[in-house]
Amino acid sequence: MNPTVYFVIPCYNEQEVLEETVKRLTAKLGAMGGQGLAGPKSRVLLVDDGSKDRTWEIIARLHKENRLVEGVKLAHNRGHQHALLCGLMTAMPLCDCAISLDADLQDDVDALDQFVAKYLEGCDVVYGVRNKRDTDTWFKRTTAEGFYKVMKLLGVDVVFNHADYRLMSRRALEGLSEYKEVNLFLRGIVPLIGYRSDYVYYDRHERFAGESKYPLKKMISLALDGITSFSVKPLKLISNFGILISILSVFGLLYALVSYFAGWAVSGWTAIVCSIWLLGGLQMLCLGVVGGYIGKIYSEVKARPRYRVEELLQQEETGPEPTGSKK
Ligand code: UDP
Ligand code: MG
């Protein structure tokens, strides 16, 4: 039986690209059906993220004209990550696997078969990874690659050069639904879900039409969400900094005392310098201790699932005796 595949596409003010995108994706879905990669219930699901232009009108019309097109409209603009989550959660009970991609045809449509092929081989998550970034400006390339490196340094498990072009099986989506956090950074959550995963490498194209909906402000806010939602290392850094200042303060103290006894210091200077160094170090250390507790509260509040069972092997006789069998 061919898998039911959903293409999930968040759209924000995408009136210029929608028709072409849907044309390409429905044609692709048809072709994949012929190759045994997509079942008859497969669909293209468009999520309107509170667009201010004619995006929803176009989605509604395409839905009427084409039985492969479905739509969901958010009541307001919640941003790419939330729109994507909404699409994935809408698709979850209806599909075997869902592939998320951008509305602007930057994610290579021809690579879609490879995602499903990997799913059929038994992968639950397939990450689309960009071969190169030559379609990006120098600024975007440098900042994006720098961001992945900082994330690695902070101990966050993210796939290098993977954005949100990705396939997730239904059970991976169910795993995702257990993450209730509000500050969403899907690229960080998906690797936490586990299961077998693989990569598909693709060339990212230029935006087909329209402008990027990710201005610098949104990019920075996504990057900060990525860091602050996944790493408590910055808090730990405060403690380390406190220890460093405390060690330095010993030298500062020694220098102040030597100056005092050698008679280089004006009266009162030694006491001030000693207290500044000692108190500075102490304050940093205390902040670090408080930070340690805040870090714990932060992970408790997230209430992320603690584990996920992939398979369970049990013998038939395992478990409590059925009632009535007791003598
Ligand atoms: N998007 C969205 N809500 C937003 C911003 C963007 O749903 O608030 C969608 C947008 O329509 C597109 C995808 O997110 O399908 C990626 O945005 P874009 O292509 O503008 O980002 P870029 O490729 O420039 O990083
Ligand atoms: Mg884009």
Q: Give the pLDDT confidence of 156-187 residue by residue, as tens digits.
A: 888 988 989 999 999 999 999 999 998 899 99
pLDDT recorded at residue 327: 45
Query: Rounded to the nearest whole angstrom, what is the distance from the C-alpha of residue 14 to the centroid of ligand 1?
Result: 9
Pocket test residue of 102, 206, 220 for ligand 1, highest count of atoms within 8 A of CB: 102
* 31-45, 164-178, 239-253: range with lowest mean pLDDT: 239-253
**Binding site membership of 212 for ligand 1 (Cβ less than 6 Å):** yes
Q: Choose between 31 and 324: higher pLDDT.
A: 31
pLDDT recorded at residue 322: 66
Residue ranges per structural domain of the chain: 5-230+305-313, 233-302
E strand intervals along the chain: 5-11, 43-48, 69-73, 97-100, 125-130, 162-169, 197-202
| pTM, rounded to two decimals | 0.85
The correct CATH number of 5-230+305-313 out of 3.40.50.300, 3.30.300.30, 3.90.550.10, 2.40.128.720 is: 3.90.550.10
Pair type for strands 125-130 and 162-169 = antiparallel
Average confidence score pLDDT of the chain: 90
Q: How far is residue 111 CA from its own chain's centroid?
A: 21
Rounded Cα distance, 7 and 47, in Å: 11
CB 19 within 8 A of CB 132: no
Atom nearest to 219 CA in ligand 1: 25
Tell me, what DSSP letter sits at residue 111?
A: G
